[in-house]
């Protein structure tokens, strides 16, 4: 039944829009690139762009040395603040796990990391998922096909396949994007090397990590987190399609769902613990600023008298959102089958 759902999607006009969006996304991967460790430029007092023409290895080594210097300063600065002490220990752990005291070539990973969660990429994939799953049942309801499905022998498979597709399609879609990105990045920057080194070597925001991740571990964590984000949105879209009467109502509900967490951060009378989770784990932040969330250390929060890492709690909430979306979708389907 999943194959039938896919055929239905791509036979409709929406299928052409989805293909066009994905082709556009694949086409611009070549242009998505961060400032490499071997590059340096700045604006002078007249706001003119000045490009550093020193040898690439020299530029990269200077950047690396600056990171190590900052990390040592944080790790060795005495303080009475418990949060700062915890962060200092995490920085010290990263320093202890350094294998080489000099810069190593990490251009492939730097670019791949940047492309894996690029906000425009995330936005396009989310648009595709919303277009598919916000219409996955409302279209059938509008055309009257839902009555035929509910009276058929395969009604269980037909309805539950929608939920299964909402879980699997984001994984497939994102995997295809990553595969295309991998191939393009290899063509541009060569095969990946030095993935066993510290993740701070490819991070633009330094060394705010929750632990001493290697580059490979950090990239895997990023891919898993973004996959969860996409699944949670597709499952929510599927649920709203099952309970809505029109596509517009379904899409509107999904957009409200995605923006609700950000809006709630403005409600100052909410508990500080909840505000902290909403401020870090809302969809707007996850999509626009994923590097400030994934694998980072953001302090501890107290829940029922016990301290938990804020980012860990946000990850649990994200996974809980997926499970809740699946549960609500199943309940909505059962309600339809029991009519």
Owner of token pair 């879209």: 237
Whether the pLDDT of residue 150 is over 70: the answer is: no
Span 128-144, pLDDT tens digits: 999 889 887 776 666 66
Q: What is the pLDDT of residue 318?
A: 94
What is the average pLDDT score of the chain?
86
DSSP string of 253-271, one letter each residue: HHHHHHHHHHHHTT-TTS-
Span 164-176, pLDDT tens digits: 889 999 999 999 9
**First CA to last CA across the chain, in angstroms?**
22
State both tokens at 77: 């600065």
Q: What is the pLDDT of residue 144?
A: 61
Distance CA 333, CA 339 (A): 10
Predicted TM-score (pTM) of the model is 0.91
The residues, any chain, with a CB within 8 Å of residue 47's CB and separated by 6 or more, are none
Span 276-285, pLDDT tens digits: 888 888 999 9
Whether the pLDDT of residue 151 is over 70: the answer is: no
Whether the pLDDT of residue 148 is over 70: the answer is: no
Distance CA 335, CA 331 (A): 6
Please choose, from the candidates 277, 135, 113, the residue with its C-alpha nearest in 3D space to the C-alpha of residue 205: 113
Span 40-56, pLDDT tens digits: 887 777 788 888 788 99
Residue 297 near residue 203, CB atoms below 8 Å: no
Average pLDDT, integer, range 24-40: 88
What distances in angstroms separate CA 233 from CA 145, 204, 323, one per listed residue? Answer: 25, 28, 12
Q: What is the pLDDT of residue 154?
A: 63
Banded pLDDT at 35 (limits 50, 70, 90):
confident
Residue 242 near residue 160, CB atoms below 8 Å: no
Distance CA 235, CA 163 (A): 7
Span 203-246, pLDDT tens digits: 877 678 888 899 999 999 999 999 999 999 999 999 998 888 88
Whether the pLDDT of residue 301 is over 80: the answer is: yes
């Amino acid at each position: 039944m999943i194959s039938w759902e896919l055929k239905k999607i791509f036979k409709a006009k929406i299928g052409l829009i989805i293909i066009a969006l994905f082709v556009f996304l694949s086409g611009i991967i070549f242009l998505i690139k961060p400032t490499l460790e071997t590059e340096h430029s700045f604006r002078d007092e007249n706001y003119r762009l000045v490009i550093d023409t020193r040898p690439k290895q020299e530029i990269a080594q200077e950047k690396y040395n600056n990171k190590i210097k900052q990390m040592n300063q944080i790790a060795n600065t005495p303080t009475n603040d418990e949060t700062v002490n915890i962060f200092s220990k995490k920085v010290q752990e990263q320093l202890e796990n350094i294998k080489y005291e000099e810069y190593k070539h990490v251009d492939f990973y730097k670019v791949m990391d940047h492309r894996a969660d690029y906000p425009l990429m995330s936005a396009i994939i989310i648009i595709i998922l919303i277009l598919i799953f916000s219409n996955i049942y409302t279209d059938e309801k509008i055309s009257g096909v839902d009555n035929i499905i509910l009276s058929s022998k395969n009604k269980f498979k037909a309805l539950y396949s929608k939920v299964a597709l909402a879980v699997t399609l984001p994984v497939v879609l994102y995997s295809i994007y990553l595969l295309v990105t991998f191939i393009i990045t290899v063509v541009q920057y060569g095969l990946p090397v030095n993935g066993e080194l510290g993740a701070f070597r490819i991070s633009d925001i330094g060394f705010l990590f929750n632990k001493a991740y290697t580059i490979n571990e950090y990239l895997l964590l990023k891919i898993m987190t973004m996959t969860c984000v996409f699944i949670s949105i597709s499952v929510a879209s599927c649920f709203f399609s099952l309970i809505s009467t029109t596509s517009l109502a379904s899409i509107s509900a999904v957009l409200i769902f995605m923006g609700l967490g950000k809006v709630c951060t403005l409600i100052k009378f909410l508990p500080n613990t909840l505000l902290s989770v909403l401020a870090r784990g809302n969809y707007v932040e996850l999509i626009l600023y994923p590097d400030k969330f994934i694998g980072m250390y953001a302090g501890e929060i107290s829940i029922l008298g016990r301290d938990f890492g804020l980012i860990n709690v946000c990850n649990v909430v994200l996974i809980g959102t997926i499970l809740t979306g699946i549960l609500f979708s199943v309940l909505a389907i059962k309600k339809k089958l029991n009519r």
